[in-house]
Amino acid sequence: MSLRALLLMVFAFTWAPFVLGRAPVTAPPTFDHEPWTALLSKHVTWVPRGAAANGVGTVVDYAGFRRDRAALQRYTDALARVPQSTFARWSKRERHAFLINAYNAYTVALIADAPADLESIKDLGSLLQSPWKKAAFPLLGETRSLDDIEHGLLRGADDFDEPRIHFAVNCASIGCPALRPEAFTAAKLETQLQDQTRRFLRDRSRNRWNADDEVLEVSSIFDWYSGDFEKGFLGADSVEAFLVLYVADLGLDARVAKALREGDVDLDYTDYDWRLNRAE
């Protein structure tokens, strides 16, 4: 090939799109959640809970987060700098990981900035406004509340079909699914969501078979967000059908599992523990 021909080929691939008025399509930059992982791994610990022998919940060292408040602020500042145009070009998994981490980081910041003797996140609200409705966090070009992030950006998305996010977002309470001691990432999201779900359902303090009353007692999350568990995740079109996917984690024997599959099991919803999930 002559030098002239080679130069023409290079021009065609490099400059032709600009000449024709079309810039080359490039992938949107991903977000680095490693600083959040560094904080979580330092201040969040798996612990046994209920009758489970392995870690199904976590405790949070909020005093440690207060000491590392500057590092947490740098991470939330980085979240706030992401423009809506970039976010919109990310994959669904990238968007979900970003929003789950944002929700959890802003929740931790809310507790870290509160008095050290705070007993519950609900104490930060008032008669007129819950702490989840306070618009105080910059994200994607607007000032958002925690409800905006969870219900507007996550659950409110047109393509939302992922009920397991309810086991990933953390409300700083014992009744909540565990705050994971690592950031969620697009690359690991499926594994992380599945692990969060299984750990939560293995927690007998919140999900258990009541043999005396012949009812399956499960977290109030399944009551509050029942509609999200009816969206067809792995074919599940009801809370009961979703729970069928996890009969082993619920510890159900063959008889009860069969009854659940056939729709012959009554559900009862356990009380939610709003005490702070802090390390003592």
pLDDT digit string, tens, across residues 202-247: 999 999 999 999 999 999 999 999 999 999 999 999 999 999 999 9
Domain ranges of the chain: 3-270
Percentage of the chain surpassing pLDDT 70?
A: 88
| Alpha-carbon span 88 to 24, nearest angstrom | 18
DSSP 23: P
| Alpha-carbon span 229 to 223, nearest angstrom | 10
Q: What is the pLDDT of residue 3?
A: 52
Q: What is the pLDDT of residue 16?
A: 46
Residue 261, pLDDT > 50, answer yes
Instruction: Kindly state the average pLDDT of the residues 173-182.
Output: 97
User: How many helical (H) and strand (E) elements, i.e. helices and strands, does the chain have?
Assistant: 13, 7
Q: At residue 157, what is the residue type?
A: A
Residue 248, pLDDT > 50, answer yes
Q: What is the pLDDT of residue 272?
A: 95
Q: Which of 47-51, 139-143, 146-150, 220-224 has the lowest mean pLDDT?
A: 47-51
Q: At residue 49, what is the residue type?
A: R
| Alpha-carbon span 264 to 266, nearest angstrom | 7
Q: Which of 14-23, 132-141, 145-154 has the lowest mean pLDDT?
A: 14-23
Q: What is the pLDDT of residue 48?
A: 85
| Alpha-carbon span 160 to 154, nearest angstrom | 7
Q: What is the pLDDT of residue 9?
A: 54
Secondary structure in 3-state letters for 48-70:
ECCCCCCEEEEEECHHHHHHCHH
| CB of 269 closer than 8 Å to CB of 217 | yes
**Six token digits for residue 141:** 């070009």
Tens of pLDDT, residue by residue over 89-125, are 999 999 999 999 999 999 999 999 999 999 999 999 8
Q: What is the pLDDT of residue 18?
A: 45
How high is the mean pLDDT of the chain?
Answer: 91
Tens of pLDDT, residue by residue over 78-91, are 999 999 999 999 99
| CB of 73 closer than 8 Å to CB of 106 | no
Residue the block writes with tokens 């067809």: 232
Q: What is the pLDDT of residue 7?
A: 46
Handedness of CA 179, 181, 183, 188 (dihedral sign): negative
107, containing H or E segment: helix 92-112
| Alpha-carbon span 60 to 179, nearest angstrom | 8
Of these ranges, 7-16, 23-32, 118-127, the one predicted with the greatest mean pLDDT is 118-127
Residue 11, pLDDT > 70, answer no
Structure confidence at residue 10 as a pLDDT band (50, 70, 90) = very low
More confident residue, 28 or 30: 30
Q: List strands edge to edge, sheet with 266-270.
A: 208-210, 215-219, 266-270
Q: What is the pTM assigned to this prediction? A: 0.89
Secondary structure in 3-state letters for 172-232:
CECCCCCCCCCCCCCCCHHHHHHHHHHHHHCCCCCCEEECCCCEEEEECHHHHCHHHHHCC
| Alpha-carbon span 168 to 67, nearest angstrom | 25
Residue the block writes with tokens 């009554």: 266
The gap between the terminal CA atoms of the chain, to the nearest Å, is 74
Q: What is the pLDDT of residue 30?
A: 86
Residue 167, pLDDT > 80, answer yes
Q: What is the pLDDT of residue 179?
A: 98
Pick from 170, 265, 264, 262: nearest CA to 221: 170
